[in-house]
Amino acid sequence: MSRIMDAELRNLSTIIYKMGDLAYQAVSMAIYESLYGRDSYDRIKEISDTLILLADQVEDKIFEIIIRFQPVASDLRIVKSYMKISYDITRLGRYALDISYINKRFGGLGGSEEWIRTYIADMSEKALSMVKMVMEILRSQKIEVIKSVSEMEEEIDKLYINFLNKIIDETNIKSRVVVSSVLVIRYFERIADHVAYMCESIIYMLTGRKEFLR
Amino acid sequence: MSTYKIEVEKLNAWFGSKQVLKNIDMKVKDRAVTAIMGPSGCGKTTFIRCLNRMHELTPGARVSGRVLLDGINIYDDGIDPVQIRRKVGMIFQKPNPFPMLSIYDNVALGPKLNGVKDRKTLDLIVRRSLELAGLWDEVKNDLDKSGVSLSGGQQQRLCIARALAVEPEVLLMDEPTSALDPMSAAKIEALIRKLAENYTVIIVTHNIQQAARVSDYVAFFYLGELIEYGPTKDVFEKPRSELTERYITGKFG
Amino acid sequence: MSGSSYYRLRRIKDVIVRFMVYLALLIALIPLFSVIFEVARRGIIAINLDFFVKPTPTVGEVGGGIANAIQGTFITIGLTCLIGVPIGVISGIFLSEYSESRFSTIIRFFNEVLNGIPSIVIGIFSYALIVLAVGFSVIAASFALSIIMIPIVTRTTEEALKLVPATIREAAIALGMPRWKTVVYIVLRSAKKTVATGILLAIARITGESAPILVTMGYWRWWFAGLNRPVANLALNIFLFANSPFENWVVLAWGSALILIMMVLGINIVVRILMRERY
């Protein structure tokens, strides 16, 4: 027997999946910009704004579910987690926009040093695949995949620290490149963090365990 | 001295040849509200009726196992069930004040039959019990009126006052608000929380939200078995049993 | 068939059935009212002060009354109640509250049998048991009447107590009341009006009994003279006076009948009031 709440929860999932797709688009566009310099700021801005709008919708729907159904147990964990996840996804969009802004303002990193571009390519690729993976985990509920996501997050953290250590000693790089590369890399690191938060929410949602992956 | 008021060990109960409780082990915390929930026919009412030896009054009913009240097995030979029932009061689903008695006499009857004769003492007991039940201000000028002249919610609080008048230590409540309107039910729920400061309260309810609102611990019974028992927050956030999960989220049947 | 004619037919049927019901009711009430009317018409002439204060006249005496019969009837009923009510009520309590006992099925069965025995048989039984030992007497009559009374009181008490909701009993038991206190203080008290109703109906029934009186007490035209002696009795008065050749005795018979009907009617009215007040 299906419950009235089930339809509402399905609606909620649909919105969350859509948000995930949009965030993935935004992040991949931001990466493309960083590495190849195409300007898609306006499009990313549009996506980021849509994500904020959708997150508001999610919050509203969740309140309606609470009012109507007083969810408990797995239902309660789903709505709590969805609330957090929708916020995390807006952050992904927002960081994509921040990256895009840096590219727009400083003209991208297409012409920067090879090793810097390697770092950015490496990190951004990892971050993007983390975004893809976390949304797949959310859909499939295959919780065992989370381990590899959190490993990638650790790698990104390491890359981030290494990058900072390395660039601090470089004296003959243009400050424009230093500033924009540090910021962009920082944003990818933040994106990875939020994906990790999403994984924590998924674990809580599916098992009730409160784990810290960071 | 343990902090458990009641310890149930391997409790089985039957109606004729039908077993309605199967090997229940459960320890009930002192001065707390423990809610018993479960679908109809899961044995939750039978369970609390075993705690004040009311179950055995039904023809053909049988009990085995131990129920320790303050460490003493209430099913031991030589234990008088009447004495147990004075320590373990009970509130029923439908408010049942004695229809032929006044509000005052409804509350005073218990202590009177237990040998309190002095009018002043009785007045005091009646007043204190009605105050505890949150009914005194509403009825203090109508103590001579019949108990059934009150509203449903007031009748139920009168029944609570009546139970409190014999100075019990444990209060068993069998779906005490299921016959009441939401406002009256809310008053009873608030009263239950207050009573838990001094009494051990066990409440049977099939209103899951009510169990969540009033209880410190919650037990889930299904087909005569204790499926899950734990702190209310834990059970409602992350039940250990799939059955509990399905019951409280309404995915049953 | 058009709608309106269909409904007209239904209305006509309705009127016919209603007419028949009222007619049947009227036919059923005619004997009752003609009895009351006839008794009142003939009895009313007998009624004056003497009728209520003077005992049965001696042969040839003018006037006289039924005061001794009224006194005797009350004494007989009183003694009957003294025997029958406690036994009946206690049996009723037993059947209702201790019905899990196998014994109670047997009691219930014999109670029904007892209720069905013709009153003259009970009278003969009392004659054999008491009259032969003590003689015609109030005791013998009351004994017979109480045997008629007991099954009625038993059954109505049982039914009255069973009407008391189980929740009330449980409330008392849960308060830590012993079973007997629960029965006496709670169950019996809740049902007292219904129990009283049953007792009154039993009294109405025995007030009109004449056959067992005839064989246990016989005729007595004086005042009460002790429980081991007979007393006069209204129902018996009617039987004996109506058959007498004296005209003023026949008038007294009609007067007695009127008083008897008033008493039974009065009891029934009280019962009605009690029933209405219940809950």
Count CB-CB contacts under 10 A for residue B58. Answer: 13
Task: Give the residue, B85 or B2, on which the prediction is more confident.
Answer: B85
Residues C176, B74 contacting (CB under 8 angstroms): no
Contact indicator for B164, B129 with CB cutoff of 8 Å:
yes
Going by the DSSP 8-state scheme, the letter that residue B68 receives in this structure is: E
Q: How many domains does chain C have?
A: 2
Closest CA to B178 of B155, B154, B159, B206: B206
Please tell me whether residues C37 and C63 are part of one structural domain: no
Q: Give the H or E element holding residue C93.
A: helix C67-97
DSSP result, chain A: ---HHHHHHHHHHHHHHHHHHHHHHHHHHHHHHHHH----HHHHHHHHHHHHHHHHHHHHHHHHHHHHH---HHHHHHHHHHHHHHHHHHHHHHHHHHHHHHHHHH--STTS-HHHHHHHHHHHHHHHHHHHHHHHHHHH--GGGHHHHHHHHHHHHHHHHHHHHHHHH--SS-HHHHHHHHHHHHHHHHHHHHHHHHHHHHHHHHH-------
Average pLDDT, rounded, for chain A: 92
CA dist., res. B82 & res. B200, Å (int): 19
Minimal CA separation from B171 to chain C, in Å: 10
Q: Are residues C150 and C24 in the same domain?
A: no
Which CATH architecture does the domain made up of A4-207 adopt?
Answer: Up-down Bundle (1.20)
Using the beta-carbon criterion (under 8 Å), do A1 and B245 form an inter-chain contact?
Answer: no
Domain-embedded: residue B185: yes
Most B-contacting residue of A74, A81, A207, A209 (CB-CB within 10 A), to test interface? A74
- Whether B2 has a pLDDT exceeding 60, the answer reads no
Tokens standing for residue C72 = 């005797």
Strand order in the sheet with B170-174: B88-91, B170-174, B200-204, B33-37, B217-222, B225-231
Contacts of A75 in chain B (CB under 8 A): 249
Q: What is the ipTM of this complex?
A: 0.88
- Is 70 exceeded by the pLDDT of residue A1? no
Is residue A91 over pLDDT 80? yes
Contact residues on chain B for C279, CB-CB shorter than 8 A: 99
Which is more confidently placed, B161 or C2?
Answer: B161
| Residue B1 confidence (pLDDT) | 45
The band of B139, judged by pLDDT with boundaries at 50, 70 and 90, is very high
pLDDT at C220: 75
Burial group, residue A33, by CB count within 10 angstroms (0-12, 13-18, 19+): buried
Please judge whether B248 and A73 are an interchain contact, meaning their C-beta atoms are less than 8 angstroms apart.
Answer: yes
Over residues C216-224, mean pLDDT:
77
- B121 part of a folded domain: no
Lowest mean per-residue pLDDT among A179-183, B129-133, C198-202, C272-276: C272-276
* Chain A environment of B239 (Cβ under 8 Å): 73
Q: Are residues C249 and C147 in the same domain?
A: yes
Q: Is B1's Cβ below 8 Å from some Cβ in C?
A: no
**C192 neighbourhood in chain B, CB within 8 Å:** 100
Report chain B residues whose CB lies below 8 A from the CB of A71. Answer: 249
Q: Which residue is it, tokens 């109507």?
A: A68
The number of folded domains in chain B is 1
Residue B53 lies in a domain: yes
CA–CA distance, A62 with A83 (Å, rounded to integer): 7
Q: Residue B184: which CATH number?
A: 3.40.50.300
Taking residue B76's Cβ as centre, other Cβ atoms within 10 Å add up to 10
In this predicted model, what pLDDT tens digit does every residue of B81-115 receive, in sequence order? Answer: 999 999 999 999 999 999 889 999 999 999 998 88
Torsion from C-alpha of C91, C93, C94, C98, nearest 10 degrees:
170
Q: Do residues C121 and C34 share a domain?
A: no
Q: Which domain holds residue B212?
A: 4-96+168-248
Q: Are residues C33 and C62 in the same domain?
A: no
pLDDT score for C279: 44
The C-alpha angle C254, C258, C259, rounded to 5 degrees, equals: 120
What is d(CA C265, CA C279) in angstroms, rounded to the nearest whole number?
24
Question: Cβ of B90 and C174 within 8 Å?
Answer: yes
Chain A residues within 8 A of B249 when measuring between CB atoms: 3, 71-75
CB pairs under 8 A between A and B: 32
Distances (CA, A) of A162 to A153, A157, A175, C123, C213: 14, 9, 19, 120, 122
pLDDT, average across residues B13-31: 94
The answer, yes or no, to whether B and C have at least 3 beta-carbon pairs within 8 Å is yes
> Does the structure show a pLDDT above 80 at C54?
no
Q: For all residues of chain C together, what is the average pLDDT? A: 84
Mean pLDDT to the nearest integer, C173-188: 89
In single-letter form, the type of residue at position A205 comes to M
For A19-33, A195-209, C139-153, which range has the lowest pLDDT when averaged over its residues? C139-153
Select the residue from A72, A203, A204 to test the B interface by mutation, using most B Cβ atoms within 10 A. A72
For residue range B166-197, list pLDDT tens digits in order.
999 999 999 999 989 999 999 999 999 999 99
> Pick from A3, A76, A207: which is nearest to B250 by CB?
A3
Residue C17: give the domain boundaries: 3-46
pLDDT surpassing 70 at residue B42? yes
Q: B82 and C175 in contact by Cβ < 8 A?
A: no
CATH number, position C67: 1.10.3720.10
CA distance B212 to chain C (A): 27
Closest by Cβ to B249, choosing from A73, A207, A208 = A73
Residues C154, C38: one domain? no
Alpha-carbon span B180 to B95, nearest angstrom = 9
User: Could you tell me the sign of the dihedral formed by the alpha carbons of C41, C45, C46, C49, in that order?
Assistant: positive
The verdict on C94 and C17 lying in the same domain is: no
In tens, the pLDDT along B108-136 reads: 999 998 888 899 999 999 999 999 999 99
Whether the per-residue pLDDT at C233 is higher than 90: the answer is: no
Domain boundaries, chain A: 4-207
Tell me the average pLDDT across A26-35. Answer: 90
CB contact under 8 A, B110 and C175: yes
A128-138 confidence digits (pLDDT tens)? 999 999 999 99
Strand partners, B172: B90, B202
CA A101/CA C6 separation, integer angstroms: 86
As a whole number, the mean pLDDT across chain B is 93
Tens digits of residue pLDDT in A105-159: 887 777 788 899 899 999 999 999 999 999 999 999 999 999 999 999 999 999 9
